[in-house]
Structure 1
């Protein structure tokens, strides 16, 4: 598919948005500075503005990636702010860290995801070194039935106050299955039968549906994904990138 047009031939939304930003800026500049590109009505001449913008872009194509990045960041920030409360309010027990945090890290995770597994140590390290941080986990089982079974078991463990221990043990065991979940539950001091029964509860089903809806609104296509302040980071970005985003969120708050 052409990068600038969709399947119906229209300009892609990002290009239209960026053009709007550039045209708006140019119109403001002309209205303030006044270089002759004005219609008789005293309003900026759109054709003249478009010509100026086009010439500038052709002569400075290096601005396009930066403009696109800023536009995307602005749109992501709007979506995050709209869902802030839903994102940062954990399923009971599915969180760790500060009871009254100044920054909350939200992690969308799937127990069949190798990149999520690789991120466990990064998140544990952040919790250990930052007493003002809270981590909220949002189960997003998108990699198959075994992912949903594990997610339900983890949320059931949260109801018994054993989420984080169980969460770590599931990831340590590799791609989950029924036997591995039973072993992880036993090691975490949980009864396998009670865990499975609790995992079938309507409340846990609603939580998973809520997380899928949140991920859809944020445009997520995989895990892990991290929400920190007004930033959305996708993939196993590593400890340093997460720590940087936490510091930036803290500085803004």
Structure 2
């Protein structure tokens, strides 16, 4: 199994119900797009603290199989499933999804929201999820994209793996899945997501000033904050792209 994610993210996302710049309302739009109902079976790769899986299962009655590599996130997801009486519909497996053989054509929909690094990139993620989806099913991937190019030379946190909105859609099409929906984040979605990081880190630092990793987490938080304010808010978009696996 790969190492778990850096502790910074466990701290920074300790209050996040949704660990991406997206709203519950837009996730419900996703559920309708995927035509979820009580008969639907859904795969959620990198399911995190379980927010999307629990929302979709609670709203549409679908079953969701989550896979999450970070024990702290998986534990919270289990707890929330129990609290909301959804344990019979939702499961969260601890593990590295890239090392798990997914049953072919087992799911009506497969999700990977904000974690294409699990498989090494967007194309690899689309290909991996597509094998697990039944013909006629859907692959939904949440992925950043660049609103405009070129990027500033001093934008240190830019990721060269990301592409434009059109380029992201092209990746799906190249993998044989036409994109049938794009559900994009707003600035409000981004601000809620990013600023909750700031609050969570500030609260944790106040409560744990002598933690051995306190200074590293403080420094990383400040770096991410300045990068978002200077560049990310203007240049980086995020959306859920829904690809359709054509019936045979």
TM-score tier by shorter-chain length is: under 0.3
Using the size of structure 2 for normalisation, the TM-score is 0.24
TM-score of the superposed pair, with normalisation by structure 1: 0.24
The structure where helix makes up a greater share of residues is: 1
